[in-house]
Amino acid sequence: MSVTLGEEVMLLSLDDESGVARGRASAAWAVAGGTLLELVIRDRVRVASGRVTLTDISPTREGLLDERLHLLGEWARRRRSAKVSEWLAKDQTASVRATVGSLCERGLVVEERHRALGLFPVRRYPEADGTVERELRDRLERVVLHGARPDDRTSSLIALLHGARLHGIAFPGVPHKQVEPRMAAIAEGQWAAGGVRRAIREMQATMAAVTAATIAACT
């Protein structure tokens, strides 16, 4: 089953048993960033100099991506300068909601509804089919832990995870110092094609800035 970069980040973030998102704030930015990078890889969007430009509005034939592409186009048309950081800030909550919905439709997670303290509605998304996530984690291990050459998609995913400091959700139980240098090298984009490489760097910078600001606000 083919899933998007945003869906991959979401799968890594969601705890298999409890369905609770780990690294929730940073993961939300990475999910939105992953969806945008997916559109870059599919030649629908170009990212350069901190700005996003639509290059092709034809459907991707994937509902999750086509919805984001339409909304991005509507948003960008109302602005003189469509900044990547502004779009991600606007889209992160909606993108997470749409991404989780897509994972439910694909049968990879299942929605469970609870009420915290008997009052507040809570939704959780435990694993229903772990096949895709297992393949994903195997691919990340081959590239990061065993030195395999990454393709554009894997480079993009690793750049997102590294920029958002989500090393722990990708490699739970593995010391940060064991994976960070390799992820940092891949995040530089040396493996990817030109347009994707530029987008990876832009996205990595945005993720790093957002994560740093989030950490500073909490200290």
SS (H, E, C) 126-164: CECCCHHHHHHHHHHHHHHHCCCCCCHHHHHHHHHHHHC
| Mean pLDDT score across all residues of the chain | 87
Of 160, 152, 32, whose CA–CA distance to 96 is shortest?
32
Torsion region of 87: left, alpha or beta (phi above 0 gives left; psi -120 to 50 gives alpha): alpha
- Distances in Å between the Cα of 12 and the Cα atoms of 37, 83, 140 are 17, 27, 11
Per residue in 8-45, pLDDT tens?
A: 999 999 999 999 999 888 899 899 989 998 998 899 99
* Widest Cα–Cα separation across the chain: 52
Per residue in 97-156, pLDDT tens?
A: 999 999 999 999 999 987 766 667 788 999 999 999 999 999 999 999 999 998 888 988
* Residues β-bridged to residue 21: 14
What phi and psi, each to the nearest 5 degrees, are found at residue 150? -80, 150
Helix (H, G, I), strand (E, B) or coil at 106: coil
